Amino acid sequence: MVDTAQLMENKVFMAFTSYATIILSKMMFMSIATAFYRVTRKVFANPEDCASFGKGESAKKYLRVDDRVERVRRAHLNDLENIVPFLGIGLLYSLSGPDLSTAILHFRLFVGARIYHTIAYLLPLPQPNRGLAFFVGYGVTFSMAYRLLKNRLLL
Amino acid sequence: MVDTAQLMENKVFMAFTSYATIILSKMMFMSIATAFYRVTRKVFANPEDCASFGKGESAKKYLRVDDRVERVRRAHLNDLENIVPFLGIGLLYSLSGPDLSTAILHFRLFVGARIYHTIAYLLPLPQPNRGLAFFVGYGVTFSMAYRLLKNRLLL
Amino acid sequence: MVDTAQLMENKVFMAFTSYATIILSKMMFMSIATAFYRVTRKVFANPEDCASFGKGESAKKYLRVDDRVERVRRAHLNDLENIVPFLGIGLLYSLSGPDLSTAILHFRLFVGARIYHTIAYLLPLPQPNRGLAFFVGYGVTFSMAYRLLKNRLLL
């Protein structure tokens, strides 16, 4: 058996585990936010979802699009588009033996930027708050990708 | 070289491998389902996709939106939103040395819930079938995240 | 500590790291492409994004949908739907001790097919260019999933 206790004694990997779990939990929260707005605003995408609000034609009026719900959905999709590269590249980066303090700086910046991005998207804050948060997260992932490709290229 | 035979002798990791591969294959099937409905119902999003059904203006009528296709696409996006956290958190959880039977219970519940979610979405079954399936999968991922953060936090 | 130098001496894992980082960087480029078209074509999804182009009502006319932007967004979502299974299944496949040349063939085909898919989507090239690129990537992922499930099933 692999000594997984060993892998978990790797401090960079432990830090990656912590930050990845936190940012994925934040992303999962977006599903709850979407459901919350759908129910409180009675805005649904599927006929079966609004069956409890009326039958037949009277329920169909709830099959609509709402600015608030679409905003949460855009924030959620943006999370997916940015957290997936962070997970993939970050995991490989963690296993490539980086300096602990450099690695933690990357993880902290990314998680902080994505949480700020969500706040800026949902309130919303005026631009360039959201744009800057996006580019900080983007830059962090790119920096990890650059270090990986510089040191470990095998094509 | 890492003794990958060793890593694969880790039973929790092998179980995670099996369940993750199954649920990702299921997710990939959604692409086929979307393509199937697009072709059989002649509903396309790109002009080049319907070129074989006519030229110029006569083809443009197939650039439309269809309830059935949108339903599959929503199910696919919901899969992405939920399977990505399961993959990330589940992988780290598998490597953190959990009890085998507890881990397998988590994986089985998640995979079962997501397959049921797809069935409930595509048929569709009346609510709360789909909602319950969603929350079972959600709860499983959250339970793994909680165990990770409780035991292995390094910030 | 896990000897991560050891893990990185595993050539299959190093190759997976290289190809995964490349294809994730390509996927991240889609965000830049979307932003580029949004700004040059003045097509926005959020009121706060077009505030610099006018105030109040005059800015609202930029809240619109554009063919070009939607095309990039569809390509991006298709990337997500296909690269996530590749990442998950490919990582587990890399750790399952496959033959190096077989593994590299899989990775090269996938990355080549997805890059061609993006070119075919954005230009756009006539079908079946994009369709074929999609199915090559799909087949590669499925082939890795098949090998994993054949050798390492634990349910």
Identify whether C56 is part of a domain. no
Interface contact A95-C8, CB threshold 8 A: yes
Average pLDDT over residues C101-126: 92
- Cβ-based contacts of A97 with chain C (< 8 Å): 4-5, 8
C136 touches chain B (CB under 8 A): no
| Alpha-carbon gap, residue A93 to A87, rounded angstroms | 10
Does any domain span residue C96? yes
pTM score, two decimals?
A: 0.88
Nearest to C80 among A81, A121, A134 (CB): A81
CATH code for the domain of B83: 1.20.120.550
Question: To 10 degrees, the CA torsion angle through B95, B100, B102, B107?
Answer: 70
Contact B127 A51 (CB under 8 A): yes
pLDDT digits (tens, 9 = 90+) for B80-128: 999 999 999 998 898 888 889 999 999 999 999 999 999 999 988 888 8
Residue B56, pLDDT above cutoff 70: no
- The confidence band for A142, taking pLDDT boundaries of 50, 70 and 90, is very high
Find the mean pLDDT for residues B56-69: 78
Q: Which of B10, B11, B13, B14 to mutate to test the interface with C (most CBs of C within 10 A)?
A: B14
Q: Give start and end residues of each alpha helix (H) in chain A.
A: 4-9, 11-41, 57-60, 67-95, 100-122, 129-151
How high is the pLDDT of residue A117?
93
Q: Tell me the CB-side half-sphere exposure of residue C1, using CA atoms within 13 A.
A: 14
Asked whether residue A2 carries a pLDDT value surpassing 60, the answer given is: no
pLDDT at B53 over 80: no
CA distance B129 to B116: 8
* Residue range of the domain that includes A103: 4-151
Considering only CB atoms, which chain A residues are within 8 Å of C19? Answer: 155
Q: Does residue C45 sit within a domain?
A: no
Distance CA C85, CA B27 (A): 8
Please report, in angstroms and rounded to a whole number, the separation of the first and last CA atoms in chain B.
30
* Start-end of H helices in A42-66: 57-60
Query: Residue A39 has what pLDDT?
Result: 84
Residue A154 amino acid letter: L
Q: Do C60 and A131 form a contact (C-beta atoms < 8 A)?
A: no
Tokens of B82: 């939920």
Distances (CA, A) of C10 to B3, B71, B86: 9, 43, 26
- Mean pLDDT to the nearest integer, B53-67: 76
d(CA C93, CA C96): 5
The Cα–Cα gap between A124 and A119 comes to 7
What value, to the nearest 5°, has the Cα angle with vertex B59 and ends B53 and B62? 90
The mean pLDDT of A54-59, rounded to a whole number, is: 70
**How many angstroms away from the CA of A36 is the closest CA of chain C?**
21
The arithmetic mean of pLDDT across residues B18-42, rounded, is: 90
pLDDT for position A40? 87
Single out the residue of C99, C85, C78, C93 nearest to residue C27, CA to CA. C78
Q: Which amino acid is at C124?
A: P
According to the model, what pLDDT value does residue C52 have?
Answer: 73
Confirm if B24 and C142 have CB atoms less than 8 A apart.
no
Q: Tell me, rounded to whole angstroms, the distance of Cα B23 from its chain centroid.
A: 6
- CA-angle at C126, arms to C123 and C130, nearest 5°: 75
Q: Is the pLDDT of residue B39 over 90?
A: no
Cα–Cα distance between C116 and A99 in angstroms, integer?
36
Query: pLDDT band for position C43 (50/70/90)?
Result: confident
Other Cβ atoms within 10 Å of A38 Cβ, number: 20
B57 C-beta neighbours (distance < 10 Å), count: 7
Number of domains comprising chain C: 1
- By the 8 A CB rule, do C92 and B7 touch? no
Two structure tokens written together for C5: 């130098």
pLDDT at B5: 56
Give me C34's structure tokens: 């979307």
Q: How far apart are CA C94 and CA A145, in angstroms?
A: 19
The minimum CA-CA distance between B98 and chain A, rounded to whole Å, is 10
Query: Rounded mean pLDDT of A110-126?
Result: 92
Look at the alpha carbons of B33, B35, B41, B44 in this order and tell me if their dihedral is positive or negative: positive
CB–CB of B46 and C154 under 8 A? Answer: no
Q: Considering only residues B100 and C3, tell me which one the structure prediction assigns the higher pLDDT.
A: B100
pLDDT reading at A1 higher than 50 = no
Closest to B6 (Cβ–Cβ): which among A1, A30, A80? A1
CA distance B55 to chain C (A): 13
